[in-house]
Amino acid sequence: MIKSFEFKPYEGIGELKLGSSRDEIKNILNKYQLNYKEADIRVEHQGHLTICVGYNMFIHFDQNDSVNFIELGMDQNTTEADFDIIFENKRLFKQNHFELYKILKKNDEDLVEEATGLTSFKLGIGTWCGLGYFEEPLLHPESIFVFTKGYYDDI
């Protein structure tokens, strides 16, 4: 069953709130019966622990143990998302990158387009599609991520 979460800019997705503590996140994951493990995954510009839910959700924590990045991804075996993100009444994983571009560009004139996807610093959301964004704009995103203000400032 797909779990749907509404995206709110710089707040988070559903009950998964940016700024939440590790314990708050564990309680939410347990509520949805999502199995998780903690992994010592180092993000180059942060250096912190990550909670992994299967291989399709990654929750990063900053030095203060607060959530600063959440990524939901597609199941590579089925090419379906275990999760969906709702924004402006649209299921984002059901949109191809061309449609996602239109949705995000309407809300952020400075939307960044790269070979790997889209990033809106105004909204705090981005997409990743490997190296196919420019070549295949009709592909669906492989993952969608949300982040706190300032997350990318040190890159």
Per-residue pLDDT tens listing for the chain (155 residues): 467 889 999 999 999 999 999 889 888 888 877 777 776 555 555 556 677 776 578 888 888 889 999 998 876 555 566 678 999 999 999 898 889 999 999 999 999 998 888 999 999 999 998 766 667 778 888 899 999 998 888 65
Which residue, 127, 110, 121, is CA-closest to 150? 121
DSSP per-residue codes, 103-152? HHHHH-TT-EEETTEEEETTTTEEEEBTB-TTT-TTSPPSEEEEE-TTTT
Q: Where are the domains of the chain?
A: 3-147
93: tokens are 């994983």
CATH fold group of domain 3-147: protein yfey like fold (2.60.460)
Where b means 16+ CB within 10 Å and e means fewer, 2-18 reads: eeebebbeeebbbebbb
